[in-house]
Amino acid sequence: MKYFKKRIDKPLGELLIEKGIINRAQIKKALKVQKERGGLIGEIIVSLGFAKEEDIAHVLSLQYGFPYLPLESYDIPKELVKIIPKQVALQYCLIPIDKIGSTLTIAMANPLNSQAIEDVEYISNSEVQIFVATASDIKKAIEKCYA
């Protein structure tokens, strides 16, 4: 299993402020909500309407160096979805997008979920390469591919 190292050692909220996506008052509100309810700060920022999913995905890509992949026009080969059961794809909000040799490429909304990566490596008997995609793009792709 891999451990993730930030390429940019700043919190997600700080990067969103620097990019002009949110302001300090919005991050304070989001952090307050996170403290009360728990959850991922990026998802909270989106749920509060302060940013779009794509904004969060782009900043996560920048922060950790994972490439961003918009899935709306991406064709996922049918044989790939047989590798990962639908329940696993839904549970971890991920979808397989390519396989070359023993490397399976997946798109996931939370690329830091090491348990998801570990489970996919075990299920697929493959090494996993990660792309970031929005949760809504992944859910649409799951519904289309596993129909």
Q: List pLDDT tens digits, range 36-56.
A: 999 889 999 999 999 999 999
- Considering the domain architecture, whether residues 82 and 138 belong to the same structural domain is answered as yes
- Considering the domain architecture, whether residues 85 and 42 belong to the same structural domain is answered as no
Residue 66 has pLDDT above 70, yes or no: yes
CB 60 within 8 A of CB 66: yes
Residue 128: CB atoms within 10 A of its CB come to 20
- Considering the domain architecture, whether residues 19 and 52 belong to the same structural domain is answered as yes
Residue 2 has pLDDT above 80, yes or no: no
- Considering the domain architecture, whether residues 98 and 134 belong to the same structural domain is answered as yes
Q: Indicate whether 139 belongs to any domain.
A: yes
From 22, 38, 64, give the residue that closes a domain.
64
Q: Which distant-in-sequence residues (6+ apart) come within 8 Å of 75 by Cβ? A: none
- Considering the domain architecture, whether residues 92 and 117 belong to the same structural domain is answered as yes
CB 61 within 8 A of CB 7: no
Q: Indicate whether 73 belongs to any domain.
A: no
Closest by Cα among 82, 81, 137 to 108: 137
Q: Which two tokens stand for residue 144?
A: 């289309």
- Considering the domain architecture, whether residues 86 and 59 belong to the same structural domain is answered as no
Which contiguous run of DSSP H or E holds residue 137?
helix 135-145
Q: Which amino acid is at 57?
A: A
Give the range of the structural domain holding residue 42, as residue numbers without chain letter: 12-64
Q: Indicate whether 6 belongs to any domain.
A: no
**pTM as predicted:** 0.81
Q: List pLDDT tens digits, range 83-121.
A: 999 999 999 999 999 999 999 999 999 988 999 999 999
- Considering the domain architecture, whether residues 56 and 111 belong to the same structural domain is answered as no
- Considering the domain architecture, whether residues 93 and 55 belong to the same structural domain is answered as no
Count the domains in the chain.
2
Helices (H) and strands (E) in the chain, counts: 8, 3
- Considering the domain architecture, whether residues 100 and 140 belong to the same structural domain is answered as yes
- Considering the domain architecture, whether residues 58 and 86 belong to the same structural domain is answered as no
- Considering the domain architecture, whether residues 82 and 140 belong to the same structural domain is answered as yes
What are the CA-CA distances from residue 49 to residues 14, 34, 79, 113, 144 (Å)?
A: 17, 15, 37, 24, 27
Arithmetic mean of pLDDT over the chain: 91
